[in-house]
Every structure is written in C-alpha cells, then in structure tokens.
Structure 1
Amino acid sequence: MSSVSLTAKAVRKSLLAFAVTSVAFSNISVAEEIQGDQVVERIEVTGSKIKRIGDLAPTPVTVISGSDMAEMGITNVADILNKIPSSTVGISPETSNNFIFANGLNQTNLRGLGSDRTLVLVNGRRFVAGSNGASAVDLNTIPSAMVERIEVITGGASAVYGSDAIAGVVNIITRKHTDGVELDASYTLPEQGGGEESQFSITAGGDFLNDKLTTIFNATFAQQKELRASERDFLNNPVGSIYNPDPDGPARIQYEGRKPLSWINEAGTFFAADGNQYTFDANGNMKLFDYGEGLIEGPGNNGNYCGPSCEGYDPVNYGLIRTPLDRMVFSLNTDYQINDDHKIFTEITYVDYQSNGESSPVFHTYNPVYADNAFLSDETKQLLADTGMGGFNLYRMDTEFGNRTYNQDRETFRFLLGVEGTINDYWDYSFHAQRGQLNETTLWGGEIWADRYEQAKDAVFDGNGNIVCRDEEARAAGCVPLNLLGIGQASQESIDWVSTEAGQTAETVQTSAGLVINGSFLELPAGFISAAFSADYRKEESSTDPDQALIDGTIFGNLASPMSGEYDVVELAAEFSVPLLQDVILAHDLSLDLAYRWMDYSTAGQDDAWKLGLNWSPIEDLRIRATRSKSVRAPNIGELFSPPGQTFSSFTDVCDKINIELGSDGNRKKNCEAVGLGNGWNPSDSWYLSNHPGFNAGNEDLTAEVSDDYTVGFVYSPSYVDNLSFTVDYWAFDISDAINYITVGTAVKYCYDSESLDNIYCDLFTRDNTTGDIIDFVQKPVNSASFNVKGVDIEGNYTLETASIGNFNVHLIATYLEEWEYNPTGFEADLQVDVGEYTDPRWKAMFSLGWDYQDLSLEARSNYRHSAVASNDWLPENNNYNDIPSHTVWDFTGRYDFTDDFTLRFGVKNAFDKAPPRNPYVYDGAGYYDTQGRAFFLGGNYKI
C-alpha cells in the first residue's frame, strides 16, 4: 500500500472523527506532519505519545477548545472542567475557605477519586504542584487566553503518563502562534451583586528572523470577588436541621431560617446562679439575654439555638461562600527552527495571585471573669454578690480583633527548554528539561497572643484606683487591660497589646527531564507498527517554615511545624500500536495498543504500569474499543514527610471488659488476650478521665496505590447521515492499597479485630508495659483503603447544515454512575456505598443546542444533576430531609463577529436563577451547585 493512500485515509478518517464533536467537546485532535513527498504522514492522537497512522486511540478522550471556553463566559480552566459530567469539583474558591493553606486553590477531580489521583499536564509535560506537599496542579496558573484545547482522558493512564494518572489525565495544550496583538476582556455581573468576575488579557506574537523564530506572549489579569452568604437570598435564609420536637415523627427534621447560638454572642454572655442568662449592651451594661422567638424546642442540642431575632451569635453574618481571587499570569512560548529537521522550544510561566480566606473572630467558650474584675458594672457586681458567685464564665466572640483571615500569596515560576526534530523519515525525537517552583506565603490576621489575652482580660484596680492587669509580671511587660464586656469597649492600646499576626512560608520545587522517541517500523499487511519510547527523570522537593509562634502554639487555635521532604523517580516506558487487519471482512481495521512503564521511586521503590488496548472497526461507521490497564499513584511529599504535630484525643480501648466481647469472629478477644489484656482488664481510672496525647504525622513507609481499570465502548458515525456520532463507554476502577489517614480510635479497633496482630494498625499506638494503658499514638496515612467505581459515559453530537438559515448543533454528554464504593480500612463494616448520594448522583449531564448564522452564534446550554439522597444509610425514621431533587441550570450565550478583527461575546449564566436545592446539606452549594445565581457577562476580543 502506498504512503500516499495511507496518508489520505488517515487524514480523511481523522477529520471525520474530529467533525463529529466539534462544538465544545471532541474525541480527537489532529496534527499533520509531512516528512517528504513519499513518506507516510503520522497523525498525533490524543491520549498517547505515539504519532500513528490512524485516527482514534482506544482510550476515551474529551477535548474542549479554548475558544468555546471564552464563548461560555468562562475565565478559569477549573470552571469548565467542573462542568464535565465525568468530573467532580476538587478544591476551589467555593470549597476551600475553611482550609487555611488551601484557600483559593482551583483543582479538578476526575471521577470523584481525588485531585491527587488526577494528573494535570501542560503540553503533555508535568507542571509544578499547586500547594506544598501535594501533587495536584493549581489551575489558577493556566491563563484561559493561552488555551488552545484541553484534553480529558478519563481512564487509567499511568502506563503512558506516569504516577497520579489513576483517575485520568487533563492535558492542557497552549497556543503556539499568533500574528500581531490580541486584546481580550470580559466581565461577569451577578444579578444580586457580590462575586463579580473580570479578566483582561493581551496576547502578542509572530514570526521573526526569516520565520525561524515564532513567539507568543500573554499577560492575563483576572479577578474574582468574594461572595458572602448575606449577598444571596437563598444563603441569607439558610436551611438546617434540628431534633424533632414531635416524638412520633422522624428523629430529625428540616429547619428553615436562621438559628443563632443561644449561649454566645459578640457582647459576651454568662449564666448566673439565679437561673438566668445575661449579656451586655454595647456600653457594657448588664441585661437579660434576649432569646427573641425563644429557644428552639425539642430534645438534644436544640436548646443551643434560638429564633432568628435572638441576640446570639449568627454564623450567617460571617459566612464567606467564595474566597476572593486576584491573578496575574504571564506566559511566553517560543520556537526556534534550527533547520528543516530540528527546533528549540521554550515555555516560560510566571504567576502571582492572592486569595483571602476568612472565618469568624477568635472566640472563647471557657473564659473566667472574676468578681473583682475592674470592668464589671456595679449592677453586675451586685448580682454576683447576691447569688454568691465568685465570677462567671464569659462566652464571647471577640470582634475587637476582626475576623480571622488567611491571606495566601502564591508565586509560581516555570521554565522549560527543549529540542525536537526528526531522526529520519520515520522517527522523531523530543527532549525537554524544566524547573518549576512554587513559593507560598500565608499570613494569619485577626489573631491574638493566647497568654496576653488571659493576662489582659484579668483587669483589677490597683491601690490608686487605676485599672491594671492583675499579673505583675505582665504589667511590667507592658500589659494593657482589656475590656470584654459589651461591644467596642476595649481600648486600642489593649487591642494592640493582645492582637498579632502570624505567617508561614513554603517552597515547592519540581525538576524534571524527559526524552521521547516515536515513529513507525516494520510494515505489516495492515500498515506500519507505530511506537514511542520515553525516559523521564523527576525530582520533587517541599519545605515549610512557620513562624516560631505557630511552632510554640502561642497563637489562638493555630499550630504548625516545619517540614522538609523530597523524592526522585526514574521512569522508562514504551508504547506500541500494531495494525492487525485492514479492509477485510468484518475488519475495516483492527489494531492492538500496548504500553508499559517502569518506575523507580527513591521513597516507594520500584513499580510498573501497563495498558492493553484493542481498536476494532468491523465496518467503517462503527468503531469498538477496549482497554485494560494497571495504574499507580506514588505517595506525595505531604503524605510521606508531614512532621509530627501534637494532638489530643479521647477514644475507646476495645480490650476493656465491656468491649472485648463485641468484636466480630472472635478476633478481638483472641488478640487482646494475646497481649495480656483479657480476664476483665480495664484501663486505669485516670486514663478514662483524660484526653490522651499523641501525634499527627506523615508515613515514610507508604507504598504506591494500585488501580486495576478497564473501559469498553464504541463510536458510531453513520456514513448515511452527515455530522452525526454517538459514543458509549463503560469504565471501571478497582483501586487497592489507597492511602488513608487513620485515627487512633480506628487503629485500636482494627489492631485487635484483624485476624492477627501482624497488621498495619497495631504499630500506630503504644501501651504501658505495666498498666496496659495506651500512652502514645500516631495518626498517619497508611495503605488501607480501596475504591470500586463503575459507570458509563455517553456522548452524542449532531450538526445540521443548511444553506438558508444557518447551522444547528445538538450535543449531549452524560455519565451514569453504576457503582461508587469506598472502604477506608478494608473491613466490611466500614464500606461506604456512595452512588446515588448528592456527592455522586446516578446521572450527570451536559446538553447544548447551538445555532450559527453568518456572523452570529447563539447557544443554550444546560447542566443536570440527578435526584439524590444525603445518605444511603438513612431511613425515613432518621429524618425528613434525605431526598434531594434533581437540578438543572441553563446558560444562554452568544457571539457576534462585527469584523474579522472584533468579536463580541455575551450571555446570561443560570438564566432562570436556579438556587441550590433547599436541603441542609446542599443549600449553600457544597461545591456541587451554582451559588452565583443569575449573572450577565460581556466580553470582547480585538485583534490589532
């Protein structure tokens, strides 16, 4: 068969497959490479390092174009990935506010298996991690204006790309060329205000030095403003739950509206011996606490809450639903053509962005105020005297110091240098070396010195009638008395004495190099065998340097320890695509795909990954594909090297005389007796009455996670209907030895419930040799968990072209989840069946209907989440809010090309202002539902 005919057939088939899903999602990308007049042209296929003769890899791939992101009003790569049914929201500005070191991050999470199990690449190569100690990439570092396309490979891909690719790979392909200068701006305005988004970018480039040098530069400035609960009507009126006052109904019921805490507020409250609760007005005068509509009736902790107008602490007033995000991203890509066969390329990225998390002010729930406190009013002193109280515990939110803030500044720099070219007519090579570095600076605001707070609030009169701190040493050190009775009564001097800031710096460095040689050899009757061989080296380093106050624990509520860790890995891999049959009965074409990767980690040791794929077209219109693979994920630096940090915990010792008989299969009793703890043994009385000290730490003995996964599916593109395709893929992941953090209570239980004492749990705690009491423990990650996840991806696309009224496109992409099981310990009692719960609904889908006519394009797009439950384990007698209804959000967008150089984009997101379901678990979005509400966007692109 001639090379020309092979080329024509490959190109024709590739273009057909590409046209199938060309609107926002696609199954393939096409890259043509001509090596001479008579040489076979190789098509670069997504999801593989092979440039092969053919069009489709057996691994399912979804492709999103950068232009479609812009037309949807999306300015962050994470936002489009989170809309894909196969993806679940990872850490994002909507979910990270309560995570001090993570707020503002944008990560994706394929199949809901975790961001660390989703490998993000840029132009097929690794990118430095987005947070210290982790491996997941922060998508804030990718400017949307530089995105050519995004390839999403939702399947085990470790054999091709290495560790972390258990759930799949997101490969972001950046633009390589532009002529002139391109200005782009967009603005999104929510109808209710708050959460505004804006972005401006300038892209410039061209060909220089007689077309030998090609450059493209981009500068992007993007801002997402904060969104507070008080700025959305559905958040300002929250949904919670309470114990049911009616004993004949379910145990808990849904509660609509605000329910402030009834025992603490910003002025301070206390309970007196006369049975009343008191608080203070703004001036510090004592008064009875106003319960408003009264305490919430019912059993349990209902009495801890009161009606909406009561003067208790209301967390809604402090709710930050989305953290603000300010980004500057600079990118420069260059290609220099040395000659016809070789070129040098570089990629330079610099990112600096800030995000500000926020939580309530510091608070105190055990806060002794003595009867001789100088700030007590005469009325309060009289109450204490009359009731025989020597003082009281003050329950208070200390607003004098402001809300606690977590200001993050992340600075990322990445430089890549590479060379690629041809070895001969059939073989190419590519070599690159790169270094990426992330510098994080975290600053805690609204903090206090714990010891100074205690000293300053204990204010008394001295012999001269002056108010001073009781502690003489504190007075000598400059202590200023702090008035906590009322609101705004503390002097600025006392606030300055008590308040402080604390910080931490962290550094993450990634150094890597890789070589890929790919080409074709050995022409079989059905075509050439294509192959790719690669060798990679990577070193990861992370360290943290917290302020001494955080190390010492002298700051309210915050502890941190310095960390330093590193590992390196050497990898060798090979891929083959073997054409078996072509143009015979029941085999329009048939090919076999093989991949193998060997890895040697300095920490986890040696491991391997492999993939076997079959690609079969019995007829030209139908393609059947299947893969079977082993994928791995090596532990990251945080899991391995997190430093020991002290913690305290109370837990049950299962070997005591009450619990020893309760273990299954008799293992517990047998194992307890084996260590001398049978015959009615009990821990000492003091052990039961105390919290026990231990440590949280990393685990340098962790090994790699292993996934056994497969996909089976087909692509149908009937030749008798133009521009129609239908794709179905069944997929399954069986992950073993998954890394899971084990608490001390779990460790003690399963140490003795295992078949023998030779298990991973018994090494996590220590007993006193004499008393048998547990005197020390460490809570750390171990390889104890497993996942079992299965489902079906469905995609359909149809484009109708007309000469008179334009072109219409209908596109559907959906995921059906058959099974989603997680077991953190390997014991049957801990199996979590999550499929059908709101985190993992049975169905997720994305539908679009587009119309193009001359210079105008319009599109309607919807995102659907199937009805779900809060928990599969709940019964009707447990509560009345388990059911969560289905949810659909519609966006309407458009584009008008005024000229070849000027385009206007416009639209309305969440056009019907669909709020999250009114359910205690998801009313605030929970990262799964839109909290922006109806929002209007306008954008423009102008080429100079």
Structure 2
Amino acid sequence: MVSASAYAEDTEEQQIERIEVTGSKIKRIGELSPTPVTVITGADMMNMGITNVADILNKLPSSTVGLSPETTNNTIFASGLNQTNLRGLGSDRTLVLVNGRRFVAGANGSSAVDLNTIPTAMVARIEVITGGASAVYGSDAIAGVINIITRDDVQGVELDASYTQPEQSGGEEYQFSVTAGGDFFDSKLSTVFNFTYAEQTEVRPSDRDFLSNPVGSIYNPDTSEGAPTRIPYIGRKPLSWINEAGTFFSPNGQYTFDANGNMKEFDYGEGLIEGPGNNSNYCGPSCEGYDPVNYGFIRTPLERNVFTLNSDYQINDNHKIFNEITYVDYQSNGESSPVFHTRNFIESDNAFLPDETRQLMADTGMDYFNLNRMDTEFGNRTYNQDRETFRFLIGVEGAISDNWDYSIHAQRGQLKETTLWGGEIWADRYDQAKDAVFAADGSIVCRDADARAAGCVPLNLLGVNQASQEAIDWVSTSAGQTAKTTQTTAGLVINGALFELPAGYVNAAFSADYRKEESETNPDQELIDGTIFGNTATPMKGEFDVTEFAAEFSIPLLADVFMAHDLGLDLAYRWMDYSTAGSDDAWKVGLNWAPIEDLRLRATKSKSVRAPNIGELFDPGGQTFESFTDVCDKINVELGSNDNRKKNCQAVGLPEGWNPTDSWYQGGRPGTNAGNPDLKPETSNDYTIGMVYTPSYLEGFSLTVDYWAFEISDAINYIGVGTAVRYCYDSESLDNVYCDLFTRDDTTGDIIDFVQAPVNSASFDVKGVDIEGQYDIPTDSFGDFRVHVIATYLEKWEYNPTGFDADLQVDVGEYTDPRWKAMFSLGWQYDALSLEARSNYRHSAVASNDWQPENNNYNDIPSHTVWDFTGSYDFSDSLSLRFGVKNAFDITPPRNPYVYDGAGLYDTNGRAFFLGANYKL
C-alpha cells in the first residue's frame, strides 16, 4: 500500500501528463488528490498471498466484511458472494468501479459488485476513497468508492501460480493465471489478456480445534440475587430432544433407536445441562442428541474461472478505441443439516415399529408418538450456486484540442445465476411414505391408497439408514431457481481547462450518463407452490433507468503567496432522474489549502444519495404468517410512550375499550413480505476535514489525518408488522410510512392484511478519524526500509431503524464496530530479497453497549492482533518467488460466545503457509 498522494509522472519525452484521480473526473497536473485516497497495488496483494480482491479490502480499517464465504453459507441465494462494506454502512452503499466505470451487480436485485469477478493478476492498483462521492459517480457512493484499475502494461506472457496450506486441514487455496499482452500493427493495437483459475476449499467446524470445541452460553444454574442470567458454556452441547435416529417421549421416559432400528433408552451422556430456561434442551458432549458442530461450513468453498481481455486501438495521435471484455464462471456450495421434522407423528400400527415399541405404546396407552428426527437418508441440504458474468465495454477517447479531452463509452453487463437445492424432499410424499402399514398379504405398504397408486414406497424412519433406496428416491428431490441481472450503461465525459487565473487554470469536467438495470428470477414450480421442505420462492421482474448530468470545477484561488503555497476550490454537482424514484441531486464542495509546501489542509462537504435497488423496489416476497400485538387494544392503548397512540387509534374509528375479535389472537395472521415501489432515495450529508504533512526535512515521511462524518437520513429499512402497527399509532399523526403497511376490517377493526416491506425510516450517524503514515528509509549498506500504518478511530456509530428515540442503537465500541482498527507493516528490501511483517489489529470491545451485570458475565471481548510474515525473491528478471506464513502465531478468534467462530470479523483459517511463483516468458 502507498499513501494518499497521487502525482502526475513525466512521459519518456518529459512531457507533462494529465491524470485522473479517483474521486474526480477532472484530469489534473501534479496535484494531490482532492479527497482522501488509499492506494493498494496489485503487487502488494500478490506478495501478501492474497488471491481475492475482497480479502485485502476487508482488512482495511475503514472497511468491514460484507457478504463473504464466511458469512453466507446458510444464505441460499448469496452463498459464496464476496462484497466489501466501507464504514460498515452496507455493501449497497459502497460503489465499486473498474477503471472508473460501473460494473454489473453480483447478486440479483442488488447493486453491490461481487469481487469474485476481479482477477488479482489483472489489478494494477485499487484506489479507495471513503467519503461521499455521489456528485462525481452517482448513486451507491454514499460510503465511498472502490476504483479497481487494471493493468495495461503487459509485454509478453506471464505465468503465475500460488498455493496456501493451512496448518490444519480445510481452507486450502489454489490460484493459477496466464497473463499475456503486447503491441501489434505498428504499436497501434495494445492488448492485455488474462485467464485466472482460483479455488478455495471449505472449512468445516470439525476442521479447527477451536471450532470443534465451541463456546456457547447457557442460563446460569445459580439463580441467586445478583448472579448473571447467562454464563459461558465451553464444549459441545447437543440438542437433547432430536437426533439422527429419531427420538420420542413416552410416559416412561425418552427413547431412541440403535443402528439396527431397535428401540433403546436415550443416552444423555453427561446428563442434561442443569439450570433454568431452556438448559434442559441440551445435554453433555457424548449424549445421543443432534450436534450442529457436525454439519455445515464455516467457510463456503469457491471455484472461479475468470477471463479478461482489454485492448486499445490508436486511430491516430489524438484518438483511440478501447474495449474491456470480462467473462466469469464460478461455483460455490453451501451446506447445512439434513431436513428435519419436529411434528412427525408415528401411529401405533406403523409397520416398521419394533415389537418392544408396540408393547410400550400399548402399556402406556399411546396411539401415536412424535418422532423428532434429522433425516440423514437424504443427505445434507446443499445450496449449489453457479454465477456466470459477462461484461462488454467499448469506447472512444482522445483530445478535442490541446486543453480538452473527451471519453465516451457504452457497456452491457449480464449476470446469470443458477441455484440448485439438494437434499430436499417432497413434503407430501414424506408424510405418505412414513405412514406405513401391513397389507392383507403381510407386505408393508403406504396407508393412503391414492399414494400407493402414485408409486408411494414405505419409508422406515426408525434408526439410521433403515430406509430403502427406493423409498429415499421416491421422497427425495431437488429444486432450483434461475436469475438474470442486466446492466446497460453509456457515458460521456469532456474535461479540460476553461480559462487561466493568476493562480492557474480553472479545470472542469462535464459528464452525461445513462444506466438501465434489469433483474428477474424464475424459481421452479415446486418452490412457487411450496411443496418441498422449508423453501418457497416467487418469481420477480423489475427494472429502472436513470439519466444523469454532472459538472465539476477545480478553481485555483492562490499560489506562491504568503501563507498560501496554493489554495484551491473544488466544486461538483450531479442531477439524476430515476424512472422509479424521480429526480434528485448531489453536490460537493472541497477546499485544498497548502499554507506552506510541507503541509496541506483539506476539507469537503457533500450531499450524497442512494436510490433504491431492484430488490428493494420489486421483490415479490411471498405469504407469511406473523403473531403480533395490536397496540390499539384495551390494554396496550394506554401504554404508548406519548399521548399519540390513544388519539390515533380513536382517529381510525376504534372506540375506547376496543379489542380485536376472539379469533384474531388464536393464530398467526396472514400477510406478505414484499418490496416497496414507493421508496425514495436515501440522503447523506457528509464532510471531511484533514491534513497531509510531508516535511521536507524528513524525506520519505508522510502523514495524513482526516476527520470524517456521515449523517444519513431516509435510509431504507425493512419493517416488520409489529413495528409498523406500533409506530403507526405512536407517530404524531396517521400520515406516516407505517400506517400504509397494514389494513383493518371496516366492521370489526381487526388487522386482516399486512405487508412487511422496506421503508425510508432509518438514519445513520457515523463519525471517526482516519490516520495514515509512511516512512521510507533507504540505506547504503543495509537495504531499504519502509514503515507503514493505516488506522481508523471510530468516534460515533449510531443507527436508528425507525426514527423513534427508543430504537436508537449505539454500536460504537461493540465488537462489530470497535473504537480502533489498524494495519501496520514493516518492510525491508535488499537487492533481490524483500521481507515484510504485517499486522492487523482490532481494539478490545464489548458484545453490547446495553449490557448490565445481570445480563451475563461475558460482555468483554479482548483486543485481537494477527501477524503475517511474507517475502519474495527475484531470481532473475523473469522468475520471482513469493513465500510467507499468515497468522503466524495461530491466533484464534476471542473465546467468547459472540465471536468464537469468527463472525466474519476474525480469521478462522489459523496459521497458513503460502508459496507463489511468477515467470515471465
């Protein structure tokens, strides 16, 4: 990584080149970046043993993990995605660009880019601007911009391979790439081609000592006054009421079945866990219950194939055609426990019952029992995802005059997702097949005659692996869904010098952009009908387009005068017109002041926006059933936090003393989960104030400090029906976003329908300080040293999902948002040898800021530091070797119930060794 400065470089002919800096579309000569930028080079990533762009971005102190292979295993449609999340404000609020232009989204209905589609071998550098940039780039840039610049300087063929081997099995990583480039047709055509194959294997809980010996929590057996309600529990604690063989309760106790299907008393091992609450649902490690440690992944496996072809064709000295082609095909496979049943009635005449079970039921008067069971016959449930991304971009750029340039492009990007659920069953066939009886001839058949006629095969659920393959085949199934996301964009940028002032030229950039986003999903019919275990889906189709116009100005105010080595003003404005959310605008004002050459002060103030994405607008959702409280009933109407509730309940015609009908409270109420086509854009008012210090007396040293703040209003948040009903009537009037989410019966007043949908109700208030320092120390005899540190101090992180004071969440200092995060590196280079020590630090934190001593005794989470030691050696200009050990001291996540499994925030791979080689032909 290098510091935030960005300078123009002379060409070989010593001509000054105007360059474009991330955060602005104005090309500048020899200027510092107008806004804070952190730069990561592709070479740095390779030397660190990183094979996925997301892995380095998620280490940045200014970022946190978005969706990732560590957080998406049980998220069916998101399995394996790799997204980054600047400032913790959400991946949809972080805009990812490739060469300054948009890239198609990585998941249906979303706007966030999947970083699995970017090959590390093609990365020249990554520029990270953590601040509102909507005025320059449009929607989604509220939290900042990740601009990935690809290589354009490859001559010849370059082979690269790397391998990472954790000390414990699982989590291995392989990568192989071929990069080729050159100049053709008298150097008019320049091309760079890359093919990358990358694979990371899964990590199961049983693969790591610290995961195989989990840290959970239980209710405290000590119920005396002052004792904490919950305490840690170290070790496995299987569920005592369900297992793979099937278990049931009788008046004589709990029973299960052995491997041969014989009934036996359930073995609690070390016994039921003592204490109040649900402690007795768990038993000691050796009991016969279901142990979740044996199932699922901590890290989802990925296998990626990425093809990239970029080319430039020089039409003449002033104009060239450029194009970018990307094709990606990758697979990820999530996995969870087998299907399970907890309302699984076995009748007393079931043909598979052992004699001792029949006798037990007869002796205790049981006509049936409820068999709680994990149905391992059908295998673990799997979520296989195949994502195919294709992007084609073509453009023309060049010089209009000596002072003005232009660039125009059009692109089409498409993502196709195919999801397949394995280990599934037909719900109705399962019920029919388990209800097995003896026929007149003594054979075992399905009780239901229609089911028999349809081919039903009796299913034996008593014991492990007792079912016939024919029964398994008749009950089991798979189901899937296809989805398509399409992005079409076109853009024009014209930039140059308007006129000259005493301090220099006024530079400007004018741009026009068009973008259309389309998404659709097509689930299999059985998912639509809800006829398989546990999964339903509804087709979706949605689209929007936006037209945008923007202008930027860089105005030099003073230069080379007392207390103003230079002083400049940066202005930007963007107008956007969405087919869905209507028109909006964004703006930015920035000031750059260098009172002396060694010190630069900078400040920006901006308004940024994020328009709702297709999923938030058009998600068709599906039917749901919810139990909730109607706050207008006789008891709850008086319990409002203010006088609004009673007034508003009466305003809708509910008299004093009203109650819902008796039947209303007797079950879950039907409603719908869906998108909201009436959403409007989110708005962020943000600012940064900072300094860059590069003392002339200390060559090679630089320090940047930037204070930043985001205040986001009208943020999109999904609202449950209980929240909607409460705040509909607790608001000052009935004219609010909540009252439109449910409907009352005109006669009874009962709530008869509702929609759980996103609304513009939330807000963020986030503030902090970024610090970056670097010191290059060359020596004549001992090589060159480099010290580099990047740190973020989080002053404030508050989120309110509804706008009501009671719902304010203060997250700063909690483990998801610690006060300090930092990266430190110490590098040394001597001739062909380079060595580096690098650390990642997370400050000590708490599980919850709302903690009270009576809650639990494990709220504190200690600080966490992981060290990597890496190196490289250049054997020749053609061959170089990379090597290193990651997490060298094998530091595990804190042994705390909240984060022992990493929670996506801590390393779960453990100590790992990597080796890589690069050979240029």
- TM score, norm. by length of structure 2: 0.99
CA contact (8 A) 2:22 2:147 kept: no
Counterparts of 1:107-506 in structure 2, within 5 Å, are: 107-248=83-224, 249-274=227-252, 276-506=253-483
CA contact (8 A) 1:282 1:488 kept: yes
CA contact (8 A) 1:88 1:112 kept: yes
What's the counterpart of residue 490 of structure 2?
A: 513
Inter-partner Cα distance in structure 1 for 2:586 and 2:120? 33
What SS class does the counterpart of residue 316 from structure 1 fall into?
helix
Unaligned runs of 5+ residues in structure 2 are none
- Compute the displacement of 1:166 (Å): 0.1
Q: 2:543 aligns with which of 558, 562, 566?
A: 566
CA contact (8 A) 1:29 1:44 kept: no
CA contact (8 A) 1:31 1:44 kept: no
1:612 aligns with 2:589: yes
Inter-partner Cα distance in structure 1 for 2:280 and 2:789? 50
Amino acid at match of 1:900: D
Inter-partner Cα distance in structure 2 for 1:674 and 1:529? 60
Provide, for residues 605-627 of structure 1, a one-character-per-residue CA deviation record: whole Å limited to 9, x for no partner: 00000000000000000000000
- Compute the displacement of 1:46 (Å): 2.8
Provide, for residues 718-740 of structure 1, a one-character-per-residue CA deviation record: whole Å limited to 9, x for no partner: 00011001110000000000000
- Compute the displacement of 1:911 (Å): 0.1
Inter-partner Cα distance in structure 2 for 1:151 and 1:47? 9
- Compute the displacement of 1:676 (Å): 2.7
What SS class does the counterpart of residue 541 from structure 2 fall into?
strand
What SS class does the counterpart of residue 660 from structure 1 fall into?
helix
- Compute the displacement of 1:302 (Å): 0.5
CA contact (8 A) 2:6 2:33 kept: no
What's the counterpart of residue 579 of structure 1?
A: 556
Amino acid at match of 1:241: S
What's the counterpart of residue 941 of structure 1?
A: 918
What's the counterpart of residue 526 of structure 1?
A: 503
- Compute the displacement of 1:28 (Å): 3.6
What's the counterpart of residue 70 of structure 1?
A: 46
What SS class does the counterpart of residue 215 from structure 1 fall into?
strand
What SS class does the counterpart of residue 43 from structure 2 fall into?
helix
CA contact (8 A) 1:45 1:55 kept: no
Inter-partner Cα distance in structure 2 for 1:773 and 1:437? 46
- Compute the displacement of 1:247 (Å): 1.1
Q: State the identity as a percent.
A: 80
CA contact (8 A) 2:230 2:855 kept: yes
What SS class does the counterpart of residue 320 from structure 1 fall into?
coil
1:925 aligns with 2:902: yes
1:99 aligns with 2:75: yes
Inter-partner Cα distance in structure 1 for 2:17 and 2:272? 77
Inter-partner Cα distance in structure 2 for 1:674 and 1:46? 54
After superposition, the Cα gap between the structure-2 partners of 1:302 and 1:777, relative to the gap in structure 1 and judged at 3 Å, is same
What's the counterpart of residue 80 of structure 1?
A: 56
- Compute the displacement of 1:677 (Å): 2.4
Counterparts of 1:788-799 in structure 2, within 5 Å, are: 788-799=765-776
What's the counterpart of residue 18 of structure 1?
A: none
* More off after superposition, 244-253 vs 729-738: 244-253
Amino acid at match of 2:107: S
Inter-partner Cα distance in structure 1 for 2:10 and 2:553? 19
CA contact (8 A) 1:786 1:824 kept: yes
Q: 2:18 aligns with which of 39, 42, 53?
A: 42
What's the counterpart of residue 12 of structure 1?
A: none
Inter-partner Cα distance in structure 2 for 1:30 and 1:445? 54
What SS class does the counterpart of residue 493 from structure 1 fall into?
helix
Inter-partner Cα distance in structure 2 for 1:938 and 1:66? 17
CA contact (8 A) 1:35 1:425 kept: no
What's the counterpart of residue 893 of structure 2?
A: 916
- Compute the displacement of 1:116 (Å): 0.1
1:804 aligns with 2:775: no
Q: 1:56 aligns with which of 24, 27, 32?
A: 32
CA contact (8 A) 1:669 1:678 kept: no
Inter-partner Cα distance in structure 2 for 1:30 and 1:153? 16
CA contact (8 A) 1:186 1:937 kept: yes
Inter-partner Cα distance in structure 2 for 1:925 and 1:251? 24
CA contact (8 A) 1:725 1:796 kept: yes
CA contact (8 A) 2:315 2:321 kept: yes
User: What is the root-mean-square deviation in Å for CA atoms of aligned residues?
Assistant: 1.1
Provide, for residues 229-256 of structure 1, a one-character-per-residue CA deviation record: whole Å limited to 9, x for no partner: 0000000000000100001310010110
- Compute the displacement of 1:44 (Å): 2.8
After superposition, the Cα gap between the structure-2 partners of 1:803 and 1:106, relative to the gap in structure 1 and judged at 3 Å, is same
Unaligned runs of 5+ residues in structure 1 are 1-23
Inter-partner Cα distance in structure 2 for 1:680 and 1:745? 20
CA contact (8 A) 2:7 2:29 kept: no
Amino acid at match of 1:510: Q
Provide, for residues 272-319 of structure 1, a one-character-per-residue CA deviation record: whole Å limited to 9, x for no partner: 022x01110111111111000111000000010001110100000003
Amino acid at match of 1:168: G
- Compute the displacement of 1:32 (Å): 4.5
Inter-partner Cα distance in structure 1 for 2:134 and 2:706? 19
CA contact (8 A) 1:657 1:678 kept: no
- Compute the displacement of 1:29 (Å): 3.8
- Compute the displacement of 1:97 (Å): 0.5
1:718 aligns with 2:695: yes
Provide, for residues 879-909 of structure 1, a one-character-per-residue CA deviation record: whole Å limited to 9, x for no partner: 0110000000000000000001100000000
- Compute the displacement of 1:58 (Å): 2.6
Amino acid at match of 1:488: N
CA contact (8 A) 1:43 1:55 kept: no
- Compute the displacement of 1:31 (Å): 4.7
Inter-partner Cα distance in structure 1 for 2:152 and 2:423? 46
Amino acid at match of 2:278: N
- Compute the displacement of 1:521 (Å): 2.2
1:867 aligns with 2:806: no
Inter-partner Cα distance in structure 2 for 1:579 and 1:405? 60
CA contact (8 A) 2:7 2:30 kept: no
CA contact (8 A) 2:296 2:334 kept: no
What's the counterpart of residue 881 of structure 1?
A: 858
Inter-partner Cα distance in structure 2 for 1:567 and 1:189? 45
Inter-partner Cα distance in structure 2 for 1:874 and 1:774? 36
- TM score, norm. by length of structure 1: 0.97
Amino acid at match of 2:118: I
- Compute the displacement of 1:686 (Å): 1.4
Counterparts of 1:708-857 in structure 2, within 5 Å, are: 708-857=685-834
Inter-partner Cα distance in structure 2 for 1:319 and 1:247? 35
- Compute the displacement of 1:777 (Å): 0.5
Provide, for residues 794-826 of structure 1, a one-character-per-residue CA deviation record: whole Å limited to 9, x for no partner: 011101100100011110100000000000000
- Compute the displacement of 1:30 (Å): 4.2
- Compute the displacement of 1:33 (Å): 7.6
- Compute the displacement of 1:35 (Å): 13
Inter-partner Cα distance in structure 2 for 1:253 and 1:711? 43
- Compute the displacement of 1:678 (Å): 3.7
Amino acid at match of 2:449: E
CA contact (8 A) 2:8 2:31 kept: no
CA contact (8 A) 1:147 1:173 kept: yes
Q: 2:580 aligns with which of 580, 603, 608?
A: 603
